[in-house]
Amino acid sequence: MIIRTDHEIIKRITYERTCVKYVRIMAKYDTETKYIYTRKGKKRSSFIVIPGVPVKSENTMPRAVRTVLHALSYGGIEVDASRKLADIKKMDPMRIFYRTLDAEVYNGDYKVPVRLFFPNEEAMENGAASGKKPPVILFFHGGGWVTESVENYERVCARMAQSTGQIVASVEYRLAPEYRFPVGLMDCYAAARVFYTNRFLLNTDPDRITIMGDSAGGNLAAAVCMMARDRREFFPKKQILIYPALNNCYTEESPFESVRTNGTGYLLTAAKMEDYLKLYESSPKDRQNPYFAPILEKDLRNLPETLILTAEYDPLRDEGEVYGRKLHAAGNHVEVHRIYGAFHGFFALGIKFLHVQESFKYINQFLNKSYEKILQ
C-alpha cells in the first residue's frame, strides 16, 4: 500500500525480521526514504520515516519573511554586539511564572551552573523527594559556542518542560573566546556525568535521561555522547540533536550543498559559522578532532538512540542528515526529520509556530518510544 503525504511517500511492506530498506519512488517528490521495520511474533510491522527531498521544490517561505531574514543575514561575528543582541531575550515578562531551581555541578574546581525547569508544581515538589526518579532532559543551548545563556533560553526550556512533561536541566557551560575548546565541552560532560551517576540533588534514573542540544548545543550533545562511550563512565540511552553544527568547514570547500544554497540570506550564514569555529577552536588542529566536529568520527558504533531535526533553509541541514545516515550505518537507531519551510533557530520561536509544534510532535514520540538496536 502506498500512502502519499505533502513531504513523504510511504510504502508499507511486511518483513519477517528487523531490516532496513531504501525505497526510491519518482513522483512529485524524488524520495530516498528510510524505513525501519520491526516485527515481533505475529504483530504487524511498524515503520519510521525519514522524508526525502522535494524535486525542484519552490521556495515555500513567504516573501516578507525572506526579505526580513535577508536583511538580518549579515556576515561576520562581533562578539560583544552579538551577546548584547542575544541578551534582549532576558526581558521576558513570563519568566516570573516559570518553575525553576538553580543548582551547581563541579568540573574540577569550577562550579558549572545548572537551572532546572519543572513542567508543573507536582514535579517541582516531587523532583527532589526521596525515591522519586523523574525523566530528565539534559539540555545544552546553542549560540555558536560564543553567545546565549541559560537565562536567554528560559522561555525555550520552560516550554520544553511543559510540552514534554519532563524536567529540563539547562547547563551554563563556559563560552568562547574566553574559554575555547574543549572547556565548554568538558563543562557539559561534567554535568552529564553527575546526572547519569545520580550525584545530583535530583534522584535520577540513567535510563530516563535524554541529552539534547540545539545548533552548537547539538554539537556538544553529540560530543558528550561520544566521549561517554569512549570513557565508559556512563552510557546515555537517548540524544536529541536540533539542527546540530557537526562539521569543521563552512567555506566553498564544504562537501555539503546546503552550505552553498542556504549559506546566505537565511539568518545564519556560512560566514558566521566560520567565525564561530575560529572563536571556538584553541588551534586550527582542533578542527580535526571528532569531539570538535562529531561528523568526523570514524567509529560511530554503540551510540544512543538518536533523533535529529533539521531545517529546510539552514546551512547546517545536510550535515545533520548525513550524520544521521552515518549513525544508522554504524548500527544505531536513528530518526531524522526535516522541518520544511523552517530556518536555523526556529526552535526558539513560540509554541504557536507550526514548525515548533511539529518539532515537539517528533520529540514526544521519540521520548515515549523504546527501540531495539539495529544490529549490523
Q: List the CATH number of the domain containing 100.
A: 3.40.50.1820
| Residue appearing with cell numbers 518510544 | 369
Asked if residue 188 and residue 176 are part of one domain, the reply reads yes
| 180: three-class secondary structure by DSSP | coil
Is 215 one of the catalytic residues?
yes
| Catalytic entry in 170, 258, 344, 359 | 344
Determine the structural domain holding residue 28 and report its residue range: 1-58
**How open is the CA angle 120-123-128, to the nearest 5 degrees?**
145
Q: Whole-prediction pTM value?
A: 0.81
**Partners of 99 in the β-ladder:** none
Domain closes at, from 58, 81, 96: 58
Asked if residue 190 and residue 304 are part of one domain, the reply reads yes
Asked if residue 175 and residue 42 are part of one domain, the reply reads no
Q: How far apart are CA 344 and CA 329, in angstroms?
A: 26
Provide the mean pLDDT of the chain.
82
Asked if residue 218 and residue 126 are part of one domain, the reply reads yes
- What number is the average pLDDT over the span 138-163? 96
Per cent of the chain over pLDDT 90 is 64
pLDDT of res. 48: 42
Asked if residue 43 and residue 16 are part of one domain, the reply reads yes
Residue 354 burial (CB count, 10 A): 12
CB 205 within 8 A of CB 235: no
| Catalytic entry in 187, 214, 314, 318 | 314
pLDDT of res. 13: 32
The answer to whether residue 241 sits within a structural domain is yes
Asked if residue 190 and residue 217 are part of one domain, the reply reads yes
Is 214 one of the catalytic residues?
no
Asked if residue 178 and residue 39 are part of one domain, the reply reads no
Q: How far apart are CA 114 and CA 171, in angstroms?
A: 5
Q: Regarding beta strands 110-117 and 53-54, do their DSSP bridges make them parallel or antiparallel, or are they unpaired?
A: unpaired
pLDDT of res. 203: 83
Is 314 one of the catalytic residues?
yes
Asked if residue 137 and residue 42 are part of one domain, the reply reads no
| Catalytic entry in 215, 254, 258, 359 | 215
Q: How far apart are CA 11 and CA 35, in angstroms?
A: 9
The three grid cell numbers given for residue 334, joined into one nine-digit string: 536513528
Q: How far apart are the first and last CA of the chain?
A: 28
The answer to whether residue 113 sits within a structural domain is yes
- Please count the structural domains in the chain: 2
Q: Is 265 left (phi over 0), alpha (psi -120 to 50) or beta?
A: left
Asked if residue 285 and residue 184 are part of one domain, the reply reads yes
- What number is the average pLDDT over the span 204-233? 97
- For 220, how many CA atoms within 13 A lie in the half-sphere containing its CB? 35
> How far from 341 is each of 33, 60, 66, 69, CA to CA, in Å?
19, 6, 11, 13
Q: DSSP label at 287?
A: G
Q: Name the residue type at position 7.
A: H
Q: Is 299 left (phi over 0), alpha (psi -120 to 50) or beta?
A: beta
The rounded Cα 257 to chain-centroid distance in angstroms is 20
pLDDT of res. 289: 98
Per cent of the chain over pLDDT 70 is 76
CB 105 within 8 A of CB 169: no
The answer to whether residue 375 sits within a structural domain is no
Domain closes at, from 12, 38, 58: 58
Confidence of residue 123 (pLDDT cuts 50, 70, 90): confident
Asked if residue 154 and residue 83 are part of one domain, the reply reads yes
Q: At 353, phi and psi to the nearest 5?
A: -75, 135
Give the total residue count for the chain: 376
Consecutive H or E run containing 126: helix 121-126
